[in-house]
């Protein structure tokens, strides 16, 4: 009788967590990482090139874009950041930096998950064409870009997406 | 050092990316180069439309303002509200992200100034504090709400009205409690206050309620008793007014005198020895009148003892009326009395005249009787002595016991109404031997004539012999 009442649980999350406070928390953590790498000019040098998205946001430009484009930009940017952080994680030897990098990587994965939950799948294919990128070799630049990307595009996307019920406090 | 300001249009400005600013002189000399993040150096306008309102509680204030109208900065601005009472330093500062605020626990009846400033919260956008908004003043409330005041006043008025109406209706009762009525005794005394104006003496004396009042307050348990006439008394002299035993004496002078003429005559010679009592009228209150206890002297049988003519053999004497009359009696005197009433006057006179000298008197008495002259009546003089031997009463002729020892006299002791005096005895003794009335005769040694009760017969015989 007890088994009868057990229903199969859904594999996907019931509802996308679209809470701006979660994003703000990620942003704060990214800011901590950025502050910790401010003074490391030489130690933060990484071998190889890392491709990072451009994070500049113009409000007027942003408002002209549609939701699909916004979602695509956010998703491709998050993907690039994730690859770069992962690459940096493999290369970094310093334990402090490694901690920061790992935490950033996990946050990125969460954010990517959140964005994917409330975005349509057809936008995923256009990610490479529209995105502008630039290369860097510094860890500090990686963190900066990561932070800026979260503060800018991701946040704006979170705030003005209709599918996302923002619980702003 | 001069200051240069460059302004860029917003479409050319990108946030969230490092912006490289290079200042060069004449496009060849680079003066400075800087990478800035614009989203970190944001300065907003100060908050506008600041309003301060009072809430339900008198010590609270509600502050509201409008946010800066930047579309993409809605949730990234924090505010600071400052409230301070007039004339003092800043009291409270609250940092919130909402556009409204409530200040509690403020002072009552004080004026407060409120101002607000804003700043980006620093999460994605950072900047500097704006300037303070223009201060807005507001007054806190007071404890005495006018509504409560009016309600309490109305309540007090209603309570006072109620009290007044109760006082008016119960005025009589309250007055009785404070000033109790003094009871008046008017209804107990008829006419005392109305007719006699409170004069109790008059009311007692004149009103018919006197008898009732007396009866009510002085109830005598003893019924009125009939007074038995023991003797006809003369008015007693004033010096004996204090004697208690005078109560048994009755003033019957008028009664005696009016009935018989010789009584009148008796009064005359008794008073004045030398006078000729010819029809002298004796005043009823003449103290010299005395009683003759011999019925034979009475004219025509009209006497006090009219219905009871005494003869030696007569039995129908009313003892109550005449207990003493039989002391002296003689059958001869009665006949002689009828014959010559005029001569009795002489006899009386003689008797009175001879009173001063005992011997002559006695002889005249005896001679008067023996000679057939009108009967010389016997006189009954009595003197009354108190228990201690003092003279209480003396008959008006000044009869003194110790002087006139030669003529018979009877010494009696009596304690008022004598219980020894027996009417039946009197009756029997009369029938038998014409005994004297007094049976309780005392004994006195120095008086040969004083006889005991057993010798009453001898006494009477002795007396009779003297008279005859």
**Local confidence pLDDT in tens for the 468 residues of chain B:** 889 888 888 777 888 888 888 888 887 888 888 888 888 988 888 888 899 988 888 888 899 998 888 877 877 889 999 888 887 766 667 777 888 888 888 888 888 889 899 999 888 889 999 999 998 888 887 776 778 889 999 999 999 999 999 988 888 888 888 888 888 877 777 777 777 777 787 777 765 555 555 555 555 566 667 777 676 655 555 554 444 444 444 444 444 444 444 444 444 344 444 444 444 444 444 455 555 555 555 554 444 444 444 444 444 545 454 444 444 444 444 444 444 444 444 444 444 444 444 444 444 444 434 444 444 455 566 666 666 666 666 665 554 445 545 656 566 665 555 455 445 554 444 444 444 555 555 555 555 555 444 444 444 444 444 554
Residue B166's contacts (CB-CB under 8 Å, 6 or more residues apart) are none
Please indicate whether residue A10 or residue B151 has the higher confidence score (pLDDT). B151
Asked if B172 is an interface residue toward chain A (Cβ–Cβ < 8 A), one would say: no
Q: Report the C-alpha gap between B91 and B100 in whole angstroms.
A: 18
Residue A145's contacts (CB-CB under 8 Å, 6 or more residues apart) are A52, A53, A55, A81, A136
Say which CATH number the domain at A146 has.
1.20.1250.10
Residue B211 is predicted with a pLDDT of: 55
Answer whether A27 sits within 8 Å of B16, measured CB to CB.
no
**In chain A, which residue's Cα lies nearest the Cα of B98?**
A169
The token pair that represents B1 in the structure block: 């050092």
Q: Is residue A1 part of a domain?
A: no
Asked if B69 is an interface residue toward chain A (Cβ–Cβ < 8 A), one would say: no
The token pair that represents B33 in the structure block: 């180069």
Per the listing, tokens 């348990």 go with: B221
Task: Using the predicted structure, report yes or no on whether residue A97 has a pLDDT greater than 60.
Answer: yes
Answer whether B11 sits within 8 Å of A60, measured CB to CB.
yes
Q: Is residue A38 part of a domain?
A: yes
Please indicate whether residue B143 or residue A33 has the higher confidence score (pLDDT). A33
A24, A57, A159: residue with CB nearest B16:
A57
The number of C-beta contacts closer than 8 angstroms across A and B is 56
Q: Is residue A4 part of a domain?
A: no
Residue A37: DSSP 8-state: T
B11, B16, B123: residue with CB nearest A55:
B16
Chain A residue numbers touching B78 (CB-CB < 8 A): none
Mutate: best of B15, B36, B41, B70, partner A, most A CBs <10 A: B15
Residue A9: DSSP 8-state: P
Residue A164 is predicted with a pLDDT of: 63
Bridging pattern class, strands B61-66 and B136-139: unpaired
Residue A1 is predicted with a pLDDT of: 64
Q: Report the C-alpha gap between B301 and B392 in whole angstroms.
A: 35
Decide: B61 and B102 in contact? Cβ < 8 Å: yes
The token pair that represents B444 in the structure block: 């006195």
Q: Report the C-alpha gap between B374 and B343 in whole angstroms.
A: 6
Mutate: best of B8, B10, B17, partner A, most A CBs <10 A: B17
Helical segments of chain A, H only:
20-36, 59-64, 67-91, 95-117, 127-130, 139-149, 155-159
The Cα of A143 is separated from the nearest Cα of chain B by a number of Å equal to 12
Q: Is residue A2 part of a domain?
A: no
Q: Is residue A107 part of a domain?
A: yes
Domain that holds residue A25: 14-167
pLDDT tens figures, A43-80: 778 888 888 888 888 888 888 888 888 888 888 889 88
Q: Report the C-alpha gap between B289 and B345 in whole angstroms.
A: 15
Residue A4: DSSP 8-state: G
The Cα of A58 is separated from the nearest Cα of chain B by a number of Å equal to 5
What are the backbone angles phi and psi of residue B201, rounded to the nearest 5°?
-65, -45
- In chain A, the number of structural domains is 1
Q: Report the C-alpha gap between B251 and B376 in whole angstroms.
A: 26
Please indicate whether residue B365 or residue A97 has the higher confidence score (pLDDT). A97
Chain B residue numbers touching A151 (CB-CB < 8 A): 16, 39, 123-125
| Helix, coil or strand: residue A38 | coil
Residue B276's contacts (CB-CB under 8 Å, 6 or more residues apart) are B268
Decide: B48 and B67 in contact? Cβ < 8 Å: no
Asked if A19 is an interface residue toward chain B (Cβ–Cβ < 8 A), one would say: no
Per the listing, tokens 């408002």 go with: A63
When the pLDDT of each residue in chain A is averaged and rounded to a whole number, the result is 79
Three-state secondary structure string covering chain B = CCCCCCCCCHHHCCECCCEEEEEEECCCEEEEEEEECHHHCEECCCCEEEEEEECCCCCCEEEEEECCCCHHHHHHEEEEEEEEECCCCCCEEEEECCCEEEECCCCCCCEEEEEEEEEECCCCCCEECCCCCCCEEEECCCCCCHHHHHHHHHHHHHHHHHHHHHHHHCHHHHHHHHCCCCCCCHHHCCCCCCCCCCCHHHHHHHCCHHHHHHHHHCCCCCCCCCCCCCCEECCCCHHHCCCHHHHHCEECHHHHHHHCHHHHHHHHHHHCCCCCCCCCCCCCCCCCCCCCCCHHHCHHHCCCCCCCCCCCCCCCCCCCCCCCCCCCCCHHHHHHHHHCHHHHHHHHHHHHHCCCCHHHHHHHHHHHHHCCCCCCCCCCCCEEECCCCCEEEECCCCCCCCCCCCCCCCCECCCCCCCCCCHHHHHHHHHHHCCCCCCCECCCCCCCCCCCHHHHHHHHHHHHHHHC
B13, B74, B97: residue with CB nearest A58:
B13
Instruction: Please state the pTM of the whole predicted model.
Output: 0.48
**In chain B, which residue's Cα lies nearest the Cα of A152?**
B16
Residue B195 is predicted with a pLDDT of: 76
Q: Report the C-alpha gap between B101 and B347 in whole angstroms.
A: 157
Longest dimension (CA), chain B: 219
Q: Is residue A9 part of a domain?
A: no
A27, A61, A168: residue with CB nearest B124:
A27
Q: Is residue A123 part of a domain?
A: yes
Asked if B15 is an interface residue toward chain A (Cβ–Cβ < 8 A), one would say: yes
**In chain A, which residue's Cα lies nearest the Cα of B75?**
A168
Q: Report the C-alpha gap between B158 and B216 in whole angstroms.
A: 60
Q: Is residue A5 part of a domain?
A: no
Decide: B434 and B331 in contact? Cβ < 8 Å: no
């Amino acid at each position: 009788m007890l088994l009868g009442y057990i229903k199969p649980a859904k594999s996907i999350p019931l509802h996308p967590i679209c809470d701006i406070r979660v994003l703000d928390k990620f942003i704060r953590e990214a800011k901590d990482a950025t502050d910790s790498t401010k003074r490391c000019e030489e130690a933060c040098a990484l071998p190889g090139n890392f491709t990072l998205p451009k994070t500049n946001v113009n409000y007027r430009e942003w408002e002209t874009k549609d939701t699909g484009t916004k979602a695509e930009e956010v998703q491709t940017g998050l993907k690039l950041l994730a690859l770069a952080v992962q690459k940096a994680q493999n290369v970094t030897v310093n334990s402090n930096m490694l901690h920061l990098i790992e935490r950033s990587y996990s946050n990125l994965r969460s954010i990517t998950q959140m964005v994917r939950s409330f975005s349509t799948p057809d936008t995923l294919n256009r990610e490479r064409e529209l995105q502008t990128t630039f290369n860097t070799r510094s860890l500090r630049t990686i963190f900066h870009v990561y932070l800026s990307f979260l503060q800018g595009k991701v946040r704006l996307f979170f705030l003005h997406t209709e599918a996302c019920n923002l619980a702003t406090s | 050092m001069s200051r240069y300001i460059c302004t860029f249009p917003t479409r050319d400005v990108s946030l969230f990316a490092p912006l490289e600013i290079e200042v060069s002189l004449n496009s060849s000399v680079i003066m400075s180069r800087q990478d800035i993040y614009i989203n970190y150096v944001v300065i907003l306008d100060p908050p506008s439309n600041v309003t301060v309102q009072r809430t339900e509680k008198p010590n609270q204030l509600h502050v509201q303002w409008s946010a800066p109208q930047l579309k993409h900065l809605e949730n990234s601005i924090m505010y600071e509200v400052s409230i301070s009472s007039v004339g003092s330093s800043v009291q409270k500062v609250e940092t919130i992200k909402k556009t409204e605020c409530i200040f509690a626990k403020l002072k009552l009846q004080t004026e407060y100034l409120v101002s607000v400033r804003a700043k980006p919260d620093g999460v994605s956008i950072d900047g500097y504090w704006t300037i303070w908004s223009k201060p807005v003043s507001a007054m806190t409330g007071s404890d005495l709400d006018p509504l409560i005041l009016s309600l309490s006043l109305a309540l007090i008025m209603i309570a006072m009205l109620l009290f007044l109406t109760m006082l008016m209706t119960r005025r009589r009762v309250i007055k009785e409690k404070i000033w109790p009525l003094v009871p008046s005794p008017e209804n107990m005394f008829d006419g005392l206050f109305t007719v006699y104006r409170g004069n109790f003496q008059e009311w007692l004396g004149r009103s018919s309620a006197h008898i009732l009042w007396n009866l009510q307050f002085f109830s005598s348990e003893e019924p009125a008793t009939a007074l038995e006439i023991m003797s006809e008394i003369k008015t007693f002299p004033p010096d004996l007014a204090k004697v208690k035993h005078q109560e048994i004496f009755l003033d019957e002078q008028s009664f005696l005198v009016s009935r018989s003429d010789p009584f009148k005559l008796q009064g005359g010679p008794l008073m004045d020895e030398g006078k000729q009592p010819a029809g002298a009228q004796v005043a009823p209150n003449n103290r010299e009148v005395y009683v003759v206890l011999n019925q034979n002297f009475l004219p025509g049988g009209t006497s006090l003892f009219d219905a009871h003519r005494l003869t030696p053999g007569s039995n129908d004497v009313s003892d109550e009326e005449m207990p003493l009359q039989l002391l002296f009696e003689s059958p001869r005197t009665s006949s002689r009395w009828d014959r010559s009433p005029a001569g009795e006057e002489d006899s009386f006179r003689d008797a009175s005249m001879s009173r001063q000298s005992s011997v002559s008197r006695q002889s005249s008495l005896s001679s008067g009787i023996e000679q057939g002259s009108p009967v010389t009546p016997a006189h009954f003089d009595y003197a009354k002595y108190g228990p201690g031997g003092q003279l209480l009463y003396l008959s008006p002729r000044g009869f003194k016991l110790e002087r006139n020892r030669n003529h018979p006299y009877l010494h009696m002791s009596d304690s008022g109404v004598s219980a020894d005096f027996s009417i039946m005895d009197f009756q029997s003794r009369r029938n038998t031997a014409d005994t004297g009335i007094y049976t309780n005769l005392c004994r006195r040694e120095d008086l040969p004539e004083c006889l005991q009760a057993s010798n009453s017969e001898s006494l009477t015989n002795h007396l009779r012999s003297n008279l005859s």
